[in-house]
Amino acid sequence: MNLTSKQRAYLGGQANTMDAIFQIGKSSLTPEMVTALDEAIEKRELIKVSVLKNCADDPGEIAQMIAERTRSEVVKVIGKKIILFRQAKKNSKYELPGK
C-alpha cells in the first residue's frame, strides 16, 4: 500500500498531537525493538517514534528499515521524529482520503 500525498498529510495531522511512544537510542534497531514496534503498530495503526541524539544512524534510514520489517508505511520523518502507519484489516480508526 502506497500512501498518496493527501493521505500522508492527513495522517501527519493526526499524529501532530501524539507523543512518541518509542525512543531509539545508542543501540539503534534491535530485533526486540522491531517486535515491539510491530505490536504497537498492530494495536494503534499510527505511531510516532523518536530518535535520540546518541543514535548514530540517520532517522530516514531507520524509518525505512522499520517500515520494511513491520510492513508499514513511513508517513513522515521530521528531524528526529518518525511517523509510521499500517492500516488495520478490520475496524480501522483512520478513514484515509481518496479511498
Contacts of 39 (CB under 8 A, 6+ apart): none
34 burial via Cβ count (<10 Å: 0-12, 13-18, 19+): middle
pLDDT, residue 92, reads 83
pTM of the model as a whole: 0.92
Sorted by where each starts, the structural domains of the chain and their CATH numbers stand as 5-85 (3.30.110.60)
pLDDT, residue 95, reads 84
Residue 80 CB coordination number (10 Å): 17
pLDDT of residue 1 exceeding 80? no
Averaged pLDDT, 52-80: 94
**pLDDT tens digits, residue range 15-40?**
999 999 999 999 888 999 999 999 99
DSSP per residue, 15-48: HTTPPP-EEE-TT---HHHHHHHHHHHHHHSEEE
Mean pLDDT of the chain: 92
C-alpha cell at 34: 522491531
